[in-house]
Structure 1
């Protein structure tokens, strides 16, 4: 695989789908000029997220998009050789999913529907039921959305499926019950960073964590996009502002170095994990 340049986006995306597509395409074009190989956008960058976790407004739901429709086609057309992950509300029989799709200019590489749903999100979205890694030009990759990364089993399932890179797409807000005056001091800001580093370190993989910024409804998003190495070290980050966390890294070499003495996946004791049925 060799050296790859990875970018994690922190930016605001609202309800206007056309504007979101234009913004995504513009960021892809700028990243291409910086020779980015893997670009991870936030969750809900095409159509925005819900405005209230506790009681989503039924009249203000994210527009449901067809994964074979013109919006994803525009991202594919812009991507060229770059591997790009974007989040959107996916239209499906019976409702919509909070979903992510990974593409290059050649088409769709992989897909994920958010499995874990916080608070009232089930009022706006259906829940997914699987974690699957897939091959890309930058290596084997898996995706998580928002709350998925709170659960160690989510990232572990992707790592056991061979993922070297986990793209964690988020629309992760500050605390809705105990909001701090400054975003970096917010309890959810600390947890967001903790989960990113823990999921990378415990699985010895690279985590590319994107997030929304700005405000939608009652939610204020944290930013804090970052790339985390397989030792749990933050290689690049945006802080709470919008921007691109970008780093060039040899993913295979870094993973091999992290696993040289202590290989967490190989040294698991599945016979002792009775409560998780060996998983």
Structure 2
């Protein structure tokens, strides 16, 4: 690969509800597929290790960070010299508080976390909101994290882009019923920020009610989909070029031309 170009991947998968061991085993097999393709940044779905509809077991299944799942992620990242991102249930310092938290690890270990700030529907009862938008500087680029439903909130992605993010990641468990929103929003977040978007979504149905939409995708800064998943369990890989981030932001300078002082009055 040329300088500035890297291969990235999204893992699309169904999960076994409430079975961490089975989900980690399956995830590892899928991660191994991406590594064989040369991926240096891999995104897994939201709550991939537990399944999404474990609301009655949130406190029980939540983990500290680091904890079992993050240690598993770190081992894989070191073994394959790659970066891995996923969202899991995080046990808060105060007993009974649970966060929906994205974790990023690399060959050097745990880089940090992002707690979901915008909660969907009954997530507002299940989880505590986060309040930070960190950007992580890595060898593969500056990475910003969002989670699932947040793809529909332009503000979070914009803040990350203004803080230097070249790549915005969305580990997700996005519903099939709103697949139209997923398609539009993933493309829009990339285009309006001149950033790459990697969105890894769930498939399958949980509790005979919640059906996930799949459609995991990798989108370039021009809003063009360069890879999209269509199978139940699948990995997609694409090469990204960070020079394209620079080029797009020069040709379509939304970040430069944004009247920040005007918006500052409205976001207090």
State the TM-score, normalizing by the size of structure 1.
Answer: 0.88
Contact 1:50-1:62 within 8 A present in 2 as well: no
Using a 3 Å threshold, how does the CA distance of structure 1 residues 78 and 189 change in structure 2: closer, same or farther?
same
Any idea what SS the aligned residue of 1:23 has? Answer: helix
Using a 3 Å threshold, how does the CA distance of structure 1 residues 106 and 245 change in structure 2: closer, same or farther?
same
Q: Give the drift of 1:30.
A: 2.1
Match of 1:68 in 2: 66
Q: Give the drift of 1:60.
A: 7.0
Match of 1:123 in 2: 125
Match of 1:37 in 2: 40
Q: Give the drift of 1:65.
A: 1.3
Separation (CA, whole Å) in 2 of partners of 1:76 and 1:145: 20
Of 252, 256, 260 in structure 2, the residue corresponding to residue 270 of structure 1 is 260
Contact 1:222-1:240 within 8 A present in 2 as well: no
Post-superposition CA distance 1:182-239 (Å, at most 9, x none): xxxxxx1110011100100010100000101001122000010000000111111013
Separation (CA, whole Å) in 1 of partners of 2:165 and 2:237: 20
Contact 2:59-2:98 within 8 A present in 1 as well: no
Separation (CA, whole Å) in 1 of partners of 2:165 and 2:264: 25
Listed as ranges, the gaps of 5+ residues in structure 2 are: none
Any idea what SS the aligned residue of 2:73 has? Answer: helix
Separation (CA, whole Å) in 2 of partners of 1:272 and 1:106: 41
Match of 2:211 in 1: 220
Match of 2:161 in 1: 159
Higher helix share: 2
- 1:81-230 to 2 correspondences below 5 Å: 81-92=81-92, 93-94=94-95, 95-175=97-177, 188-217=178-207, 218-230=209-221
Using a 3 Å threshold, how does the CA distance of structure 1 residues 153 and 240 change in structure 2: closer, same or farther?
farther
Aligned length: 260
Listed as ranges, the gaps of 5+ residues in structure 1 are: 176-187
Separation (CA, whole Å) in 1 of partners of 2:265 and 2:60: 37
Separation (CA, whole Å) in 1 of partners of 2:224 and 2:159: 21
State the TM-score, normalizing by the size of structure 2.
Answer: 0.91
Match of 1:180 in 2: none
Separation (CA, whole Å) in 2 of partners of 1:173 and 1:110: 27
Separation (CA, whole Å) in 2 of partners of 1:79 and 1:32: 10
Separation (CA, whole Å) in 1 of partners of 2:20 and 2:36: 25
